[in-house]
Amino acid sequence: MMGWGANSDQQEWRKGPWTPEEDKLLSEYVNLHGEGRWSSVASCAGLNRTGKSCRLRWVNYLRPGLKRGHITPQEEGIIIELHALWGNKWSTIARYLPGRTDNEIKNYWRTHFKKKEKASLKQDKRKVLRQKNQLQQNGTTKFSPQAEEVTIKSDGNDNENQDMVEFNYHPSMDQEPVVELPPVTTSSDISYAWTDNFPMDGLWGGLWNLDDHSQASDKCKVAIRNQPATASCSYATDYAVNLYNGGFLI
């Protein structure tokens, strides 16, 4: 692709850390012309940077209103909850955290939560093997998530051998949800279209396709990795949060 300021002269674009002078040039350009047209920044502002690099610098560092400093506990809570719903949709999550960039959230998540997952993997692994055997012996299993802890899968590897389970649950204000577990399957047993729509993120547990409280659907699909399900809930969204709580936060 020839975009982002590349040109036919095979110009050597500057890379690496931005200097204060470059920041000044970029800020002046954006203040004058507004955001967008990044590919023309190089020629107009006298910056030897690709448009892509300019955009990133502006969005993640120079843009007014950006917060500095550590993520607050409140922000962390929001991140956790939204990640439970959307997975690695960092830009989407960032929209709910004014002043924070997707890059910042992404970095925060990786440094703070990836390691938690690793630490829990060994512990999970033992549970998984035991409970997986039980499930396979019983065939389709009904259980109350409040009454029984179920771990579906732990392989200690981010991308291999993901197991997923389809939960049928029946939202009701008055009764505990009943979750029907088919025999534990591998990802290859699940509809490929579904895994396409809801790619796993390789972190704690991907929770996808969660029904809104207002929706009448009695079924939600949950993909779980390395995740003890200890939730008690009436709705899928509650379930998502509880999965997290049951897994690592409490």
Q: Does 63 interact with DNA (rule: CB under 7 A)?
A: no
Which residues share a beta bridge with 180? 142, 168
- Judged by DSSP in three states, 142 sits in strand
Task: Find the binder of DNA among 36, 46, 77, 156 (CB under 7 A).
Answer: 36
Q: Does 112 interact with DNA (rule: CB under 7 A)?
A: yes
How many residues touch DNA (CB under 7 A)? Answer: 42
Q: Which residues contact 57 (CB under 8 A, 6 or more apart)?
A: 18, 22, 23, 26, 49
Task: Find the binder of DNA among 25, 26, 38, 83 (CB under 7 A).
Answer: 38
Of 31-39, 146-154, 210-218, 227-235, the segment contacting DNA by CB under 7 A is: 31-39
CB of 31 to DNA, least distance (A): 16
Q: Which residues contact 247 (CB under 8 A, 6 or more apart)?
A: 120, 204, 205, 227, 228, 230
CA distances from 101 to 88, 93, 110 (A): 13, 9, 14
Q: What is the DSSP letter of 61?
A: I
Closer to DNA by Cβ: residue 111 or 140? 111
CB of 132 to DNA, least distance (A): 26
CB of 69 to DNA, least distance (A): 7
Q: Does 27 interact with DNA (rule: CB under 7 A)?
A: no
Q: Which helix (H) or strand (E) holds 229?
A: strand 228-229
Of 84-92, 130-138, 207-215, 227-235, the segment contacting DNA by CB under 7 A is: 84-92
CB of 168 to DNA, least distance (A): 28
Q: Does 52 interact with DNA (rule: CB under 7 A)?
A: yes
User: E-assigned strands of the chain?
Assistant: 141-143, 150-151, 163-168, 179-181, 185-186, 219-222, 228-229
Three-class SS of 144-169: CCCCCCEECCCCCCCCCCCEEEEEEC
Binding mask 90-109 for DNA (x = CB under 7 A): xxx---------xxx-xxx-
Q: Which two tokens stand for residue 77?
A: 């809570």
Summarize as ranges the residues that interact with DNA (CB under 7 A). 1-5, 14-18, 35-39, 49, 51-53, 55-57, 60-61, 69-70, 88-92, 102-104, 106-108, 110-112, 115, 201
